[in-house]
Chains A and B, each alone.
Chain A
Amino acid sequence: QKEVEQNSGPLSVPEGAIASLNCTYSDRGSQSFFWYRQYSGKSPELIMFIYSNGDKEDGRFTAQLNKASQYVSLLIRDSQPSDSATYLCAVEGAGANSKLTFGKGITLSVRP
């Protein structure tokens, strides 16, 4: 059973702070890693993906991947109240027909 674990929440940070969201996965052969954001009552939307070890930056968002330690994280710099949402980590396993496995999500609240 492939597992994707996200650190327990909810997470609350003040406006302007850095929010750090972590995710670990069990399948060592996993290939691609995704972060989705889901506002309350809405559908998930992609923030960014990463498939190479290291950091990937996109605006205020940075994804960090460490395959040896089997974790992927998302940093949100200069957090804004509009960043308040649930963040879902998703992992693609190994194999040609592998599907995405989602974590349970972590809810972020950014305090004005």
Chain B
Amino acid sequence: IAGITQAPTSQILAAGRRMTLRCTQDMRHNAMYWYRQDLGLGLRLIHYSNTAGTTGKGEVPDGYSVSRANTDDFPLTLASAVPSQTSVYFCASSDSYAFSGANVLTFGAGSRLTVL
């Protein structure tokens, strides 16, 4: 089934540990995104990649890094996790980074991360 796969589904992590959230899409979409969703704050963009080999910072990039070595994979790394990074993380993709009506976001199922 075409779509976006995120892993892990859920993780509890000790503060200070390094963590990588994985995201793989099989739709050959050019653009990929990482959002975090917190109660009362909505979806906020962490990092994005318009195409393989490029990345950019979103609204809340501090404490996170990404890489885009190929079209399909877009991992998100927390170098040293802190409790404020407790959140639900969604990976998304779109065919183009230009959001005309035809280019909409497809979301993965999400990764719930708890940092203690």
For chain B, the count of residues having a C-beta within 8 Å of the partner chain is: 24
The 5 closest A-B pairs by CB, nearest first: A104-B42, A92-B99, A43-B107, A102-B43, A46-B104
> Chain A 69-104, CB within 8 Å of chain B: the 1/0 string?
000000000000000000010101000111110111
Number of A-B contacts (CB under 8 A): 55
Chain A, interface residues (CB within 8 Å), range:
20 to 34
Most buried by B among A43, A46, A50, A92: A43
B43–A51 contact, CB under 8 A?
A: no
Residues of A within 8 A of B99 (CB): 31-32, 34, 92, 98-100
Question: Does A45 make an interface contact (CB < 8 A)?
Answer: yes
Q: With A92-B99, A97-B50 in contact, is A104–B41 under 8 Å at CB?
A: yes
A61 contacts partner chain B, Cβ-Cβ < 8 Å: no
Which residues of B in the span 63-116 have a Cβ within 8 Å of any Cβ on A? Answer: 90, 97-101, 104-105, 107-110
Interface of B (DSSP majority class): loop
> A97–B56 Cα gap in the complex (Å)?
10
Interface residues of B (CB under 8 A from A): 33, 35, 40-45, 48, 50, 56, 58, 90, 97-101, 104-105, 107-110
* Chain A residues, CB < 8 A from B104: 34, 46, 49
What separation, in Å, do the CA atoms of A100 and B56 have in the docked complex?
Answer: 14
A51 to B100 CA separation, bound complex (whole angstroms): 8
Report the minimal beta-carbon distance from B54 to chain A, rounded to whole angstroms: 11
Distance in angstroms from B101 CB to nearest chain A CB is 5
B107 touches A97 (CB 8 A): no
CB-CB < 8 A to A92: which residues of B?
A: 99
- Quick one: given A99-B58, A105-B42, are A44 and B100 in contact (CB under 8 Å)? no
Query: In the complex, what's the smallest C-beta–C-beta distance from A84 to chain B, in angstroms?
Result: 18
